[in-house]
Structure 1
Amino acid sequence: MNLLTGEVSRMLFGEGRLPAVVRRLLEEAQAAPPAQREALLWTARASAPDSLAVYYLLYKHYATQGEVLEAERAARKGLAEAARQAGLAADWKRVLITQADFAQPGPARFWLFTLKALAFLRLRAGGVHEARELLAKLKELDPQDSVGGDVVKALAEATAPKRRRKI
């Protein structure tokens, strides 16, 4: 499946079109080995810093390579760009459900999806406290769990140390 076309793409990124040069770079990145893919993705980001699809592909690339901190860095950049485009607060903790329609395709929806990704990445990096804060914000903004935050929450609960009961 090509993430840049079809329903998944429209649900995350809206109807925006990628410039031809960026589309070409992303198509090359898809078939490239990891080191070359990374360079192509950052070139695409430099060419179109407002393209949310590029941020998604960057954090997905790093996560797939097991480079969790780099994935987190790319996700935070994507979160910031999506917040700017959606008119949301730069600090994710200050975002309110009334500030955007998170169910509609576009920057606010991508922001919500990336918040979930960031929670997962924080969990993998050992940042359990912040992962839980991110998941609480996600639940507040997406009570119907339309982006699948409950999956990350279940993972967080499964990896949490079990408390011993006092006898």
Structure 2
Amino acid sequence: MNLFTGESADEFFGGEMPAAARQALRLAAHAPREEVASLLWTAQAMAPQALGVYYVLYKHHASQRELAEAERAARRGLQEAARQAGLAADWRSVTPATLPAGVDFQGSGPARFWLFTLKALAFLSLRGGHPEEARELLATIAALDPQARIGDEVVASLLASISGGAGV
């Protein structure tokens, strides 16, 4: 998938991206470094329902080591994905027992994006020096996706390495 254009990500993330937002992403892909974030946040403002924009935003900011901005983008994306998937606004209250009927974390769409963004937040929490929140996020992922199909084992390994072997 092309992170900036969102090509092939629309279905995975749960919907079409409006043309104006896609154009802003294309411009960001070729913009000078100091203009990229502005173009990405513009795309988000144009299409707050487009989950792919949040993904590009948090990946961009994380790659620039702008952890607070990456976390802000991820949390906004998490909220939008929760809304679209019919999940509770507070990720801590989403458990197997509270899942609405029909929520599918294995398929493509907003529920999968929500789970994937929990993993991103776990990584950002770990990088930001908040291992306990990372542990909570990973525990939620493990409860909701016991087959670990989103790659959270990488973050769990990192957490275990800084916690002296005490993973999730």
User: Does the alignment pair 1:155 with 2:167?
Assistant: no
Partner of 1:103: 106
Looking at structure 2, the residues matched to 134 and 77 of structure 1 have their Cα atoms a distance apart, in angstroms, of: 16
The structure with the larger Rg is 1
Looking at structure 2, the residues matched to 75 and 64 of structure 1 have their Cα atoms a distance apart, in angstroms, of: 13
Looking at structure 2, the residues matched to 11 and 68 of structure 1 have their Cα atoms a distance apart, in angstroms, of: 27
- Is 2:10–2:52's contact at 8 Å kept on the other side of the alignment? no
- Is 1:13–1:105's contact at 8 Å kept on the other side of the alignment? yes
Q: What letter is aligned with 1:32?
A: A
Looking at structure 1, the residues matched to 10 and 46 of structure 2 have their Cα atoms a distance apart, in angstroms, of: 21
**Residue segments in structure 1 that go unaligned for 5+ positions in a row:** none
- Is 1:11–1:109's contact at 8 Å kept on the other side of the alignment? no
Partner of 1:26: 25
Looking at structure 1, the residues matched to 144 and 89 of structure 2 have their Cα atoms a distance apart, in angstroms, of: 16
What is the CA distance between 1:11 and its match in structure 2? 6.1
Partner of 2:62: 63
Partner of 1:121: 124
Matched pairs, number? 160
The 5 Å alignment of 1:70-89 reads 70-89=69-88
What is the CA distance between 1:12 and its match in structure 2? 3.3
Deviation string for 1:119-151 (max 9, x for gaps)? 000000000111100000010011000101111
TM normalised by structure 2 equals 0.90
C-alpha RMSD of matched pairs (Å): 1.6
- Is 2:10–2:16's contact at 8 Å kept on the other side of the alignment? no
Deviation string for 1:16-73 (max 9, x for gaps)? 2211111110011112122211010111111111110111111011000001111111
- Is 1:56–1:75's contact at 8 Å kept on the other side of the alignment? yes
Partner of 2:92: 93
Return structure 1 stretches of 4+ with deviation > 4 angstroms.
Answer: none
Secondary structure of 2:150 counterpart: coil
- Is 2:10–2:17's contact at 8 Å kept on the other side of the alignment? no
**Residue segments in structure 2 that go unaligned for 5+ positions in a row:** none
- Is 1:101–1:108's contact at 8 Å kept on the other side of the alignment? yes
Moved more, 106-115 or 26-35: 26-35
Cα distance change of structure 1 residues 10 and 146 upon mapping to structure 2, 3 Å threshold:
farther
Looking at structure 2, the residues matched to 128 and 162 of structure 1 have their Cα atoms a distance apart, in angstroms, of: 13
- Is 1:102–1:109's contact at 8 Å kept on the other side of the alignment? yes
Q: What letter is aligned with 1:67?
A: E
